[in-house]
Amino acid sequence: MGKALIVGGNGFIGSHLVNTLIKYQWDTIVIDKFPRKFVKIPENVHFIQMDFCDSIAEIEAIFDKVNPDIVFHLAWKTFPATSLENPSKDIEINIVPSLNLIKVCTKANVKLIFISSGGAVYGNTTEPIIHETSATNPISPYGIEKLTIEKYLYMYHSIYGLDYLIIRPSTPFGPWQDYLGEQGAVTVFMYRIAKNIPITLWGDGNAIRDYFYISDLVDAMVKCINYQTRDDIRIFNVGGGTGISLIHLLGLIEETVGKEAIIEQFPMRKFDPMKIVLDTSRINNELRWRPTISLLEGINRTWDWMSSII
C-alpha cells in the first residue's frame, strides 16, 4: 500500500476511514485542527495538528514532506444551518482552503477524493430517487459551497489534468458521531432520549432521509482509491438506498433505547430538503459496492457504543 493523507481525519467519518486504512496497511497522515473526541488515534498514524485555513505554502510543505499517493478531503467547518449565519465567512473558511488543496494536489499529481454532500447539493426535488445526473439546486450556502468545490475539481481536471473523485453520501451514522453536535439525528436523538432531554423536531416529522451505517460509507471510500476514473464517471452517490421519515426513525430509536422522547416541535426549516433518497446503482455497477448493514442493525450497534460511554 501507499501513503494516504486525510484532511479532516479526526472527525466522525475521518476517524473511521483512518482506522480502516491502517488495517489495510496504508501509511496514514492526518491533518486536523482538533484531536479526536471519542477514541484514540492509532499510534502509527502521523497526526499534524493545524488549521486547514492556514496558507497554501504550509499545505505544500506537508506534501513535500509526506509525499502522499492519495488525498481525502473531509474538512468542512460548517453545516447547512450554521452556513446561513455568515455565507461570506463560509467562503473564506471552506472554499478558499479547499481550492488551495486542489491546487497542491494538481501540482503534485495526486488523486483527490472529495466528500461532498448527497443531500445539500441536490436541494428539493420531486424525483423519488436521486441520480448523480439529477439537477443540483442547493438551498443552503453549505450545499452551494460543496457544489462549488465539485465544479472547481472538474475545471482543474479539464485544464490541468487533476485526477479526482467525488463521493456524495446521504446520511451516515454510527459510533463516534458527536451526539452533542449540530447534526446527526440518530446519535443526537439517542443521547437526548437516554438523558431525558427534549428533542427538537423541525416540521411534522415526515421529512425523509436515506440513513446508512458508517462502515458502509468507509468501504465505499476505500474502494474508490484504486478505481480507474473515467471522465464520464467521477461522482458516486453513496447511501442506504431506502428512505425513512424522521418520525419513523425516532420510533425505532425509542424502541432501542427503551424510552419515549420528549419532543419540542418547530416549523420546518426552509433550507432542509423534504426528501433525499439516493440512487446508488452507479457505484454498485462500477465498484460492486452496496450497503451491508441494515438500518436497525446500525442503530443497535450505535446504541451499544453510546450506552457504554454515557
pLDDT tens digits, residue range 75-94? Answer: 999 988 888 889 999 899 99
pLDDT digits (tens, 9 = 90+) for 202-245: 999 999 999 999 999 999 999 999 999 888 899 999 999 999 99
For position 139, what pLDDT does the model report? Answer: 93
* Cα→Cα distances 213→24, 114, 191, 301, Å: 20, 19, 17, 9
Listing DSSP states for 240-256 in one string gives: -S--EEHHHHHHHHHHH
Residue 5, pLDDT above cutoff 90? yes
Residue 54, pLDDT above cutoff 80? no
The architecture in CATH of the region 3-171+211-238 reads 3-Layer(aba) Sandwich (3.40)
pLDDT digits (tens, 9 = 90+) for 154-196: 999 999 999 999 999 999 999 999 999 878 999 999 999 999 9
Q: What are the extents of the domains in the chain? A: 3-171+211-238, 177-210+242-276+286-307
For position 4, what pLDDT does the model report? Answer: 98
For position 106, what pLDDT does the model report? Answer: 98
DSSP H stretches of helix in 91-245: 96-108, 141-160, 185-194, 214-225
For position 46, what pLDDT does the model report? Answer: 96
Q: What is the rounded average pLDDT of the residues 6-22?
A: 98
The architecture in CATH of the region 177-210+242-276+286-307 reads Alpha-Beta Complex (3.90)
For position 256, what pLDDT does the model report? Answer: 98
CA dist., res. 103 & res. 199, Å (int):
42
Residue 16, pLDDT above cutoff 90? yes
3-171+211-238 shares its CATH topology with 177-210+242-276+286-307 = no
Tell how far CA 255 is from the center of its chain: 27
